[in-house]
Amino acid sequence: MRLTVDHVTRYTYDHPVRSVVQSHRLSPASYSGQKVIDWEVTVSGGRKGARHRDGAGDQIQAWTIAGPVTEVVVHVRGTVETEDLAGVLRGHRESVPPDCYLCDTLPTRLDVALMALADSVAAPDALSLSHALSAAVSDAIAYRPGVTHAHTTAAEALALGEGVCQDHAHALIACARHRGISARYVSGYLSVTEDGSPHEAAHAWAELHVPGLGWVGFDPANRCCPDARYIRLGSGLDAQDAAPIRGIARGGGREEMDVTVAIQQAAQ
């Protein structure tokens, strides 16, 4: 499947800021099942800084925007060719040992309810356990936009019984780590949902490390493993660690952010 991406993130400030510094994880890697045909990231008034590949295999690009400025627009355009590999991540260059993803973070910190959810699942092997944990999270947290926020933890989402893809991913990561499975957060794009509806937002899921297979993706929000509808951008311990854009504005002023995403299937 060939997918085109048009992703605009607009930051506005109620007072001019002196400068803005950003770190982007916005360029997908090519590997088995995902081939980048073309890709471009532009930043209004921005100047490119250092670029490097981190230990997880993600491309990190620095940007600086000199002020005074009241608006910064980050525009991502690209085309990626994808293939359904049942969620298995193959041929991805990285050097971080999987055991590094066993440590918890604030969004994925366990409480009694999360431990009980993880312990409620029985399976004969790591792959079956991973699928069962993902299904348990899907059953425990209904998909409902707007009920949680960027700083909601997995424990809070489980207590609510509702959340979005970020909450599903955090909860699955917490449960998997509790059962001794290395797990990480993945940011990216989804073109359409299971019912064929366009998915007009960035997306997130989890990857669990399965002996003999390596990293395998699980998307509890859609009750599936990532397939040809998905574009993988980058990964981290949690949503903040894997954020596509991280940055800081120097100077006073309240920041607002608006995001629009369009993913379409292109002619081969």
Residue 72 and residue 63 in contact, taking contact as beta carbons nearer than 8 Å: no
Q: What is the pTM of this model?
A: 0.95
Domain 85-236 has CATH 3.10.620.30: yes
Spell out where the chain has E strands: 2-27, 34-43, 46-53, 59-82, 142-143, 162-163, 183-190, 202-210, 214-218, 230-236, 245-250, 255-265
What is the CATH code of the structural domain delimited by 2-80+245-265? 2.60.40.2250
Residue 143 and residue 163 in contact, taking contact as beta carbons nearer than 8 Å: yes
Provide the 8-state DSSP code for 116. Answer: H
For residue 226, count other CB atoms closer than 10 A to its CB. 28
Tell me the domain boundaries of the chain. 2-80+245-265, 85-236
pLDDT digits (tens, 9 = 90+) for 123-165: 999 999 999 999 999 999 999 999 999 999 999 999 999 999 9
pLDDT digits (tens, 9 = 90+) for 226-264: 999 999 999 999 999 999 999 999 987 789 999 999 999
Phi, psi of 214 (to 5 degrees): 90, -145
**Segments in the chain forming alpha helices (H):** 112-119, 126-140, 154-160, 165-178
pLDDT digits (tens, 9 = 90+) for 96-126: 999 999 999 999 999 999 999 999 999 999 9
Q: Cα–Cα distance between 95 and 116 in angstroms, integer?
A: 33
Q: What is the pLDDT of residue 268?
A: 57
